[in-house]
Structure 1
């Protein structure tokens, strides 16, 4: 994951360009409409918050949001945004060590991080997330669906089922980035025996998980 963290650290200033793709605007609006009712009145732990793009939607209805990321470079950008009315604070934290984050949370949100978890680590990561949410709480995940021509092409696959893309930054540097695209069946098996509600959009999917 250190290579992935380095990629997003280097990409911090151009992080949000992906949200400007014209063909994705309708889906993005839909996602931003779907999220607030799911976290209304809740204490939210956000995993891999990046530049805070999704934190703005969460804070519009949540009681509070602790937005975490491994990279302070992306959180530095997140701190410049406007939030509320829910209280928002930022923490540098490892998504694989959620127990180190202080507080009690009845909702956990991970936007566009599940796809970066290696297949070999998925069940361990899912268990760590589900263990961290309070009883009666909900885990919410959103991520990309693969659409030819909109997503970066898959350039490598592994026997474990991981797929990779080659990403290029504006300065010409290239990175190989893990990016998986689970089906609803695969995702449901990965979080079993938790219950899953799944919403398919054109370019994205949204899942809520409860025990």
Structure 2
């Protein structure tokens, strides 16, 4: 995961450019509308919060949010945003070591991180989320669907089925980034026996797990 972490750290100042793609605007608006009711009045643990783009949407209804990310460089951008009345705190944390994050949470949101988890590790990652959510709480996942022409092309596939993209920053540097595109059945299998509700958009999917 070191190159993935390096990529997002170096990309911090241009992180949100991906949300400017014209063809994705309708889907992004739908996600911004779907998420707030799911966390209304809840204490939220956010995984891989990045620059706070989705933290801002969650904060419109959540009681509190602890927004975590591996890179403090992206959280530094997140700290510059306004989140209204919600109690929003930031913490650097490893998505695979959530026990290090203090607090009790009745909602966990992992936005656009599942796709960066090796297939061999998805069940371990998913169970880590389920272990941290309080009984009666909800785990919320959102991520990309692969759409030719909108996503970076897949440049390498391993024997294990993990797919990679070659991404370029504005200064010309390139990074090979793990980016999987799981199916509904693959997500359901990883979180079983928990129940999954699935919403599929053109460019994204949203899953709620309880």
Q: Report if the CA contact (8 A) 1:61-1:85 is conserved.
A: no
Which residue of structure 2 aligns with residue 185 of structure 1?
185
Q: What is the rounded CA distance, in whole Å, between the counterparts of 1:110 and 1:84 in structure 2? A: 21
What is the deviation of 1:38? 0.1
Give the 3-state SS of the residue equivalent to 1:99 in structure 2: helix
Alignment partner of 1:69 is 2:62: no
Which residue of structure 2 aligns with residue 164 of structure 1?
164
Unaligned runs of 5+ in 1: none
In the TM superposition, 1:135-174 aligns within 5 A as: 135-174=135-174
Q: What is the rounded CA distance, in whole Å, between the counterparts of 2:50 and 2:183 in structure 1? A: 25
TM-score by length of 2: 0.99
Q: What is the rounded CA distance, in whole Å, between the counterparts of 1:93 and 1:182 in structure 2? A: 24
In the TM superposition, 1:1-211 aligns within 5 A as: 1-210=1-210
Q: What is the rounded CA distance, in whole Å, between the counterparts of 2:160 and 2:209 in structure 1? A: 24
* RMSD (Å), alpha carbons: 0.5
What is the deviation of 1:84? 2.4
Q: What is the rounded CA distance, in whole Å, between the counterparts of 1:57 and 1:135 in structure 2? A: 24
Give the 3-state SS of the residue equivalent to 1:27 in structure 2: helix
What is the deviation of 1:159? 1.3
What is the deviation of 1:2? 1.4
Q: Report if the CA contact (8 A) 1:138-1:208 is conserved.
A: yes
TM-score by length of 1: 0.99
